Structure 1
Amino acid sequence: MGTRTFIMRIAILLIFVLFQSYESNGQTSLKEINLDNGKYIVGFRHYTTSDSTRTYSRTYDFSNKKIARPIPVSIWYPSEQNTGDKNPMKILDYFQIFKEEEEWEYLPNEQLLNWFYYSNTPANQNHLNEQTKAYSEIEFANGKFPTIVYAPSHQASSIENFALCEYLASHGYIVISSPSRGTETRWFSNNNAKEMETQARDVEFLIKEVGKFPIANYNKFAVMGFSFGGLANVIAQNRNEKVKAIVSLDGTERYQYALLKESPFFNIEKMDVPYLHMAQKDIPEKVLIEDNIDAELNTRFELYDSIPKSKAYRFKFNNLTHSYFSTLGILFADRDKRQDKSDSEIMESYKWASIYTLNFLSAFLENDDKALKFIDNKPFDNGVGKGLITQRTNQTEGLVFTFQDFNDLASSQNYQSLSQLYNSTLKQYPSFKIAEGDLNTLGLQLVFNPNTSDQGINIFLFAIELYPNSANLFDSLAEGYLFSGNKSKAIENFKKSLELNSQNKNSIDRLKQLNE
């Protein structure tokens, strides 16, 4: 058992190599996420079929026998059945599927949290007994409904985002998913390009599979994925005209655009459907340094910035680290004390991610004007708390990026890593310029507010990188240090201002006062 646990934990580290965590148990629940379900009862079914065009080996059977590739299928759907005599599923019921997909069908339930990669804490044990919104094997609702294929993260279960899938089903969507599995066995090989193609083929298998259900509307079809699943969805969309929209939950297509371009099937010109990318919060400088992470990760959106033909949305969720774009991550994952927000902030953000997903799908699959207005609104106008979400919309042609846009992004990252943000912005908007006077005014506004003085200093340090010969900026930086009580830095920068302009009366007067 110890070896198995070790292997599984190593696998998860590979999944989230950029998003390591320190142990700190969360206090969360499905009830506290507080998703506002729609008018439909949620039905759920799970079964296993197979793809006879591909072969597969079960790792722990220790056999050379090859079988047709098994495809475990989880499907959430709207129902109108009276459930008065039925009990909703528990999270433990989803973990039975988890066991099956991990090829440990006979694992005793009491070993679940020891065996797999979640801490065996009282809080996590309690989660297993929580009731969900889904009812197993109930009837389908009448009619046809828009349909979503969900692609899980690296080697993850089909049920990893069950709360989001239930939420969409309650609002009249069908969601179908299968686990993220390697090409030849349960585990991925070292060839990520091959595994990306394999998962894309699994997505395409589900596109056909869901067509067997008469309630599926093929004219209203989208793909949705978390992390590694985002790569597969882009490939599947490029190859399938049925796909009318893409939802990316911090998809790896952002982080590994070069890998995506290795696929002979990828063509950015074919990304001609609406695209929603919801990104994790900026990784703090401490984590970047300690975990040896490229700082550009916070500002690089190469795929999003390259899309030429579709309406693309980008929302940065400033309280969510990567793993919390999944239900299992929110409920069971350990917290990283260096960067994670509080449980209540994480759950609130997950709720908003779910709401934005629903409205995006309703806008572009159902042509819902109210939902489109919601997506196009500033987050604050939708009731989102200040600073919770940073929004960008790519209208593809004739985009204008203003200093106000830059400041919104800078503010969302607490005025850290401004040079990296600026360089990233220039890649998308080469003609973007920042006026010296705007930086000076913004810096002074911030520096004279005791609550934001450090942010104002950061603005001036960035400003003198852009305008190293500006006596006025060095003078303002010196004033900021003086206001903050750093006398030596104030003197240093007043002197620098005078080197650039010996007639700067303010610096002359200030140095005289400071030397008296």
Structure 2
Amino acid sequence: MRLAILIVSLLLSTLYSGQTSIQKINLTAGEFNVGFRHYTINDSTRSYRIHNEFNNQLIYRPIPISIWYPATIEDSISKQLTVLDYLEVLKEEEEWENLPDYFLLDWFPYLWNTPENKAHLSERVNAFADPEFIDGHFPVVVYAPSYQASSIENFALFEYLASKGFVVISSPSRGTDTRLLEGGTTKDMETQSRDVEFLLNEIHSYKNIDSEKVALMGYSFGGLANAVTVMKNKNIRAIVSLDGTERYKYAVLEKSPYFDLDKFTIPYVHFAQKEIPEEILNIDNIPAELNYKFQFYDSLKYSNAYSYKFHDLTHSYFSSFGVLFANRDKRQDKSDDEIMTSYNLLSEHALQFLNATLKNDENSNAYIENSPDKNGFSENLISKKEKKANTIEFNYKYFNDLAFNQDYQDLIPLYEKTLAKYPNLQLEEGMLNTLGLRFSFDPLKFQQGINVFLLALHIYPDSSNLYDSLAEAYFYNKDFKNAISNYKMSLELNPENQNAIDRLKQLDK
């Protein structure tokens, strides 16, 4: 059940061996050398059991972490990795750390023991083992693997992105209680989403990661987990889906208690597999709607969304593991050369989207907005559709986010600028009054509270209550001169304000 909650039948019949190599994928590295680290951290908030030990002993949930990053390489001490080195990580994540290497291709059925796959093991990859980060502040891609898959399943893509100035961090897809998932349930999705959130926290431990520039990327089931993660987290800037299951299992997403499409407001790109031939739909009993139905994409309202279809890629080939190790289905798979060309193209489009959304690169923005033919690609190779986000109704919460981002300074110019763009913006007097008092009673935020009251009085200049609250703020902070002045202003507007009368008597004494 490794890659195929949805499309497993496509992988199980009429197979033949492919012949590929990392070099033939032909991903052109960028300016940075690539470092790779792997380590494990325990999540003490969750319990877990090692499935293969067949006991009831619980441990803290282990989170294996793989990270690719721009690195400084010293020839004398830096070891260039091979595919076999990556598969050592796979053994650990599959909880078979002591498995002899010669069993690898027999033990994990999705690798397939063929002469071609054995040849991959000695291939050198572009990453080096555990060098130092290069100086810099890099955007980060947090990756969620496919169903029950490894953190390294897309290592060629990760190395490519790291060479272009991104950090990529990933952990395996594993079940709630053990290594095994339940079968693609909402519970499985929520568990993987929590693992993604663990990584979102882990990135803060790296000084070379720009935690303000974060994208999620997921393949197959990982796309589903990422979709719900975006609905729970505001600090994600973009999302990349590699034939994500949110296209196929929308009902699983809807069952999440966090499901709220109105909170999905960031740029989204989905890269989809080729059309499944009618013959296979019929023989393998696959619903025909998988070829055309995309309820998640169609339901998005507030996201700039892009949907690409790669006409030479079936589902398995959206990962490095699939391109290199998966046997081919001769009923529908293209040639190895066509698969590798399209995987290269997939990687290029993912890079361009990340450059556009995390680095605001103008050329990449143009690339993403262009049709494939304008970028030099035949529609026989790739096709595209897109939709622009509807305008979000701008309310006081969004204004408060803007105010927060500038530490509640210069609020009146901010309000006037925002009102010009969103004429229907309404900041309620009561909300501003409550917020102002909340800040004013905090010694560390007194000035922010005063700023909120000054904005409130700019909008509601005849409010006796606001002057009274501003006076209370000054009184609480022992600025009695300003307190007296504002109590008097409150009384001018409402001579029956008993609080102002009592406070002025108290201050007069």
The alignment's TM-score, normalised by the length of structure 2, stands at 0.75
Aligned residue among 330, 344, 356 for 2:349: 356
Which 5+ residue runs of structure 2 have no aligned equivalent?
392-509
Per the alignment, in what secondary structure is the counterpart of residue 217 of structure 1?
A: strand
Aligned to 2:93: 101
Paired with 1:44 and 1:357, the residues of 2 have a C-alpha distance of 20
Per the alignment, in what secondary structure is the counterpart of residue 360 of structure 2?
A: coil
Contact 1:246 1:276 in 2 (8 A): yes
Give the letter for the 1:58 counterpart: I
Which 5+ residue runs of structure 1 have no aligned equivalent?
1-9, 399-516
Per the alignment, in what secondary structure is the counterpart of residue 231 of structure 1?
A: helix
Aligned residue among 29, 33, 37 for 2:25: 33
Paired with 1:204 and 1:11, the residues of 2 have a C-alpha distance of 23
Aligned to 1:344: 337
Note the alpha carbon deviations across 1:42-73, whole angstroms, 9 max, x for none: 00000011100000000111221100000000
Paired with 2:58 and 2:254, the residues of 1 have a C-alpha distance of 31
Aligned residue among 233, 236, 240 for 2:226: 233
Q: 1:13 to 1:168 in 2, by over 3 A?
A: closer
How far residue 357 of structure 1 moved from its aligned partner, in angstroms, is 0.4
Give the letter for the 2:56 counterpart: N
How far residue 190 of structure 1 moved from its aligned partner, in angstroms, is 4.3
2:152 paired with 1:162: no
How far residue 16 of structure 1 moved from its aligned partner, in angstroms, is 3.8
2:165 paired with 1:172: yes
Paired with 2:262 and 2:152, the residues of 1 have a C-alpha distance of 32
Note the alpha carbon deviations across 1:115-151, whole angstroms, 9 max, x for none: 1012211100001111100001001010110011000
Contact 2:78 2:129 in 1 (8 A): no
Paired with 1:157 and 1:127, the residues of 2 have a C-alpha distance of 17
Note the alpha carbon deviations across 1:383-410, whole angstroms, 9 max, x for none: 2244100111111459xxxxxxxxxxxx
Give the letter for the 1:242 counterpart: N
Aligned to 1:141: 134
Aligned to 1:304: 297
Aligned to 2:199: 206
Give the root-mean-square deviation of aligned CA atoms.
1.4
* Aligned pairs, number: 389
How far residue 85 of structure 1 moved from its aligned partner, in angstroms, is 5.7
Give the letter for the 2:303 counterpart: S
2:103 paired with 1:111: yes
Contact 2:161 2:167 in 1 (8 A): yes
How far residue 84 of structure 1 moved from its aligned partner, in angstroms, is 6.3
Paired with 2:230 and 2:5, the residues of 1 have a C-alpha distance of 26
Give the letter for the 1:327 counterpart: S
2:358 paired with 1:379: no
Contact 1:15 1:154 in 2 (8 A): no
How far residue 380 of structure 1 moved from its aligned partner, in angstroms, is 2.0
Give the letter for the 2:339 counterpart: I
Paired with 1:301 and 1:93, the residues of 2 have a C-alpha distance of 38
Residues 162-311 of structure 1 mapped to structure 2, 5 A cutoff? 162-190=155-183, 192-311=185-304
Aligned residue among 33, 41, 46 for 2:38: 46
Paired with 1:336 and 1:11, the residues of 2 have a C-alpha distance of 16
Paired with 1:126 and 1:229, the residues of 2 have a C-alpha distance of 29
Q: 1:12 to 1:270 in 2, by over 3 A?
A: closer
Per the alignment, in what secondary structure is the counterpart of residue 148 of structure 1?
A: strand
Larger radius of gyration: 2
How far residue 381 of structure 1 moved from its aligned partner, in angstroms, is 2.1
Contact 1:149 1:206 in 2 (8 A): yes
Aligned to 1:17: 8
Paired with 2:23 and 2:139, the residues of 1 have a C-alpha distance of 27
Per the alignment, in what secondary structure is the counterpart of residue 38 of structure 2?
A: strand
Q: 1:144 to 1:326 in 2, by over 3 A?
A: same
How far residue 266 of structure 1 moved from its aligned partner, in angstroms, is 1.3
